[in-house]
Amino acid sequence: MKEKSIELLNKAVADELSAVHQYMYFHFHCDDMGYDLLASLFKKTSIEEMLHIERLAERILFLKGDVEMEASTPVKKIHDVKEMLVLAGEMEEKSADDYNKWANECSANADSVSKKLFEDLVEDEERHFDQYDVEMDNMKKYGDNYLALQSIERSKNVGSAASDNA
């Protein structure tokens, strides 16, 4: 029973690590292009995924396993914002699906604490999906203007900081 839970918890760690890396990669590129809102959303979500790893790791160690710190997939070098949001949404959907299934498996193995942990994570992943979905809708509604606005906002902030310091 313990071995199965440890295996599932480690699979989740691998997916969470992939998400941390992928979202930070998106963060760097959005930041570089001046899209502050999206850059900060990717960074915030990446940090939340890191905290998921911490919770999974604590459970693995409690069950006397060890944490395999290997990402499940390499970072995809996507620079188009729409494609970033599509991939991020798909990753969240997959995590929510997997964690629902794994919660059931842990429950069948009478490991209610791991079950509860996976259920908590599903809640977060669904919220992440929703956040990316909202951004996707904004992109569809406003197109490139949505990104242009974020760049203008950045320039305004930089400009006002410069005049404050003058």
Residues near Fe ion, by CB under 5 A: 16, 49, 52, 92, 125, 128
| CB-CB contact of 35 with 151 (8 Å) | yes
CA 2 remoteness from chain centre: 27
Give whichever of 52 and 59 is closer to Fe ion, judged by the CB atom: 52
User: What's the min distance (Å) between Cβ of 24 and Fe ion?
Assistant: 13
Give whichever of 17 and 147 is closer to Fe ion, judged by the CB atom: 17
Q: How many CB atoms lie within 10 A of CB 10?
A: 19
Give whichever of 122 and 147 is closer to Fe ion, judged by the CB atom: 122
User: What's the min distance (Å) between Cβ of 158 and Fe ion?
Assistant: 31
User: What's the min distance (Å) between Cβ of 122 and Fe ion?
Assistant: 9
| Token pair for 16 | 């969470």
User: What's the min distance (Å) between Cβ of 143 and Fe ion?
Assistant: 26
Give whichever of 29 and 52 is closer to Fe ion, judged by the CB atom: 52
